[in-house]
Amino acid sequence: MRTAWADIANSAADNTAAASSANDGVGSTSRPARSSYVPPHLRNRPPSSDLAPPAFTGVGSGNDRSAYGAPAGGSRWAGPRADVGRPGSGGGAPRFGGGGNGWNNRSGGWDRGRDREVNPFGDEDDAPVEPDASENTGINFDAYEDIPVETSGDNVPPPVNTFADIDLGDALNQNIRRCKYVKPTPVQRHAIPISLAGRDLMACAQTGSGKTAAFCFPIISGIMTGQMAQRPRGARTVFPLALILSPTRELSCQIHEEAKKFSYQTGVRVVVAYGGAPINQQLRDLERGVDILVATPGRLVDLLERARVSLQMIRYLALDEADRMLDMGFEPQIRKIVEQMDMPPPGVRQTMLFSATFPKEIQRLASDFLSKYIFLAVGRVGSSTDLIVQRVEFVNESDKRSHLMDLLHAQRENGTHGKQSLTLVFVETKKGADSLEHWLCMNGFPATTIHGDRTQQEREYALRSFKSGTTPILVATDVAARGLDIPHVSHVVNFDLPNDIDDYVHRIGRTGRAGKSGLATAFFNENNSNMARSLAELMQESNQEVPDWLSRYAARSAYGGGKNRRSGGGGGRFGGRDFRRDTSYNRGGGSTDYYGGSNNYSGGYGAAPGGYGAAPGGYGGGYGAGVASAWD
């Protein structure tokens, strides 16, 4: 692994030399006035006269995004790198041969007048960081190595094995080292080259497997190195180049924090906007400049309607938890943002959709937002990682509290209920969350709660208190089910099971992240019989022991009950993966409208077991009002 970083270091040294010889002398010597626009790739350039403006090589592109500046991944400084070896490089992502050192080796951060970039890595100095064997170094990441990967679409760029295989630029590489990421996770290995090649992407990979970096790295790198058209200067309107949407405020904040780390000293500025927090502070942040806007849909619509944000210059659109963003709760807002405002259309902007789950009906909806996209599945669509030990226990409604108490006592006795071991308990309703929290506290188990009826301040306080271990139990509704990356969550309890197996996958995915193991316990009773079959299948698929009684429930129950989205007529859970391969969607047969050409489907999964998914019933899913209201 160290070799990989040594490779980067060596290539960086080479690149420095290349950059200085390629550039001869017209750099700006003074900091621009606050009002003048400075393209991101120029912001961190040394204030000396020894750097020339870039020789834009106008490298060819297989995409047609040039109307909005350079083709995504197409324009790089000083021509393509020979060692990148990306396929279809006509439309590939040639890199700037100088490796970006011309501007990346400056430690000053943003050039925006009064702003000084805070070091998101804390007090560490700026010395290069060697990977530390204790954290994020890929321990157990080997657990992901033999996961089957499926890609489909036209001319899929091959995966890379190391970060050194992809030229993300020195500043970003240094931040990757600071994050102590030694090697890319499987989804990163596949998704990053695809995105750097300028391709649209629908990516499905297990919870906790590093999807955030998989969409952030190409965006940051693209903004750093791309030739962007001059952004208009509205009186108070800002024009971000990238938009990352996520369904909850907390997740948007988390992505913002991550993206700030990845973009530290790159000159790329990331701003977050989300509901429940004072808009004025967010407006002030936006006014200071924004390249990447991370937002929840509601607050973004507000900003768009006030004309404080324009999407006219968007080059990159990423939807995290994309299936959630496009289901019934959010779809109208997302359509408004993406289709009815001023965002460039698919094929002009680059669109990336990520989630751990992707029901086929949602895939079909999502295809409206994409152009000639590549479908990537790392592991089975909607599967959970077998790093999570799943247990299901039959517990009657009236016994749930005492059963939970037994579990917590056992944890305490085993010494696993310390600061380093957090327990997340999911319940169905907001009232239920408050009442369980109160009861736990009364019984000597410090707990807090997060749900949609709490103020944003209370939600943030609860999350902080949980993360720090002050209250090692968090009782939550589905507002905390997706995306949150909280270290040391060792146990997820589904006190109330959700009505949708995908929600279960996301909930239990709050543990067993980044190669670490975790435990998930579900309380099951008669009220959950519509979940029996999908739950048993999911457990089987993740090599878990399925109790006999659950198998009997599963055998009795048919798909299609309740709100099980899996029952949808899209072929079911274990059918084909990319919905474009499903004959019921394949209008023309053979090569379809969706592919826009031949495909190189490289699947490798066995046939669907047991005829699952043949059940009738269309997409009858959806969320009860109480659940939906937990979201932003």
Ligand X SMILES: Nc1ncnc2c1ncn2[C@@H]1O[C@H](COP(=O)(O)OP(=O)(O)OP(=O)(O)O)[C@@H](O)[C@H]1O
Binding residues vs ligand X (CB under 6 A): 136, 138, 181, 184-185, 188, 205, 207-213, 356, 483, 485, 509, 513-514
Provide the minimum distance between the beta carbon of 355 and ligand X in the complex, in angstroms, as a whole number. 7
Residue 229: CA atoms inside 13 Å, Cβ hemisphere, count? 15
Provide the minimum distance between the beta carbon of 508 and ligand X in the complex, in angstroms, as a whole number. 10
Residue 216 has what DSSP assignment? H
Instruction: Give the residues across from 519 on adjacent strands.
Output: 389, 491
Provide the minimum distance between the beta carbon of 38 and ligand X in the complex, in angstroms, as a whole number. 30
Query: In 3D, which of 287, 285, 226 has the Cα closest to residue 256?
Result: 285
Measured from the CB atom, the residue of 209 and 499 that comes closer to ligand X is 209
Query: In 3D, which of 145, 141, 228 has the Cα closest to residue 182?
Result: 141
Task: Give yes or no for a contact between 68 and 316, defined as CB atoms under 8 angstroms apart.
Answer: no
Task: Give yes or no for a contact between 281 and 232, defined as CB atoms under 8 angstroms apart.
Answer: no
Q: Report the distance separating Cα 621 and Cα 527, nearest Å.
A: 17
Q: Report the distance separating Cα 91 and Cα 201, nearest Å.
A: 15
Measured from the CB atom, the residue of 244 and 395 that comes closer to ligand X is 244
Measured from the CB atom, the residue of 211 and 563 that comes closer to ligand X is 211
Q: Which two tokens stand for residue 308?
A: 């404080």
Q: Report the 10 Å Cβ neighbour count for 477.
A: 26
Measured from the CB atom, the residue of 38 and 520 that comes closer to ligand X is 520
Q: Report the distance separating Cα 188 and Cα 182, nearest Å.
A: 12
Measured from the CB atom, the residue of 138 and 452 that comes closer to ligand X is 138
Q: Report the 10 Å Cβ neighbour count for 328.
A: 11
Measured from the CB atom, the residue of 188 and 564 that comes closer to ligand X is 188
Provide the minimum distance between the beta carbon of 498 and ligand X in the complex, in angstroms, as a whole number. 15
Provide the minimum distance between the beta carbon of 99 and ligand X in the complex, in angstroms, as a whole number. 21
Q: Report the distance separating Cα 589 and Cα 32, nearest Å.
A: 57
Provide the minimum distance between the beta carbon of 306 and ligand X in the complex, in angstroms, as a whole number. 30
Q: Which two tokens stand for residue 81?
A: 């790198």
Q: Using alpha carbons, list the distances in angstroms from residue 556 to 302, 501, 529, 614.
A: 48, 17, 9, 16
Measured from the CB atom, the residue of 41 and 261 that comes closer to ligand X is 261
Provide the minimum distance between the beta carbon of 601 and ligand X in the complex, in angstroms, as a whole number. 24
Task: Give yes or no for a contact between 225 and 267, defined as CB atoms under 8 angstroms apart.
Answer: no
Provide the minimum distance between the beta carbon of 587 and ligand X in the complex, in angstroms, as a whole number. 31
Residue 525 has what DSSP assignment? -
Provide the minimum distance between the beta carbon of 58 and ligand X in the complex, in angstroms, as a whole number. 33
Provide the minimum distance between the beta carbon of 141 and ligand X in the complex, in angstroms, as a whole number. 6
Task: Give the per-residue SS3 of 67-106.
Answer: HHCCCCCCCCECCCCCCCCCCCCCCCCCCCCCCCHHHHCC
Measured from the CB atom, the residue of 124 and 305 that comes closer to ligand X is 124
Measured from the CB atom, the residue of 50 and 132 that comes closer to ligand X is 132
**Residues contacting 62, CB < 8 A, separation 6+:** 88, 90, 91, 92, 155, 198
Measured from the CB atom, the residue of 97 and 379 that comes closer to ligand X is 379
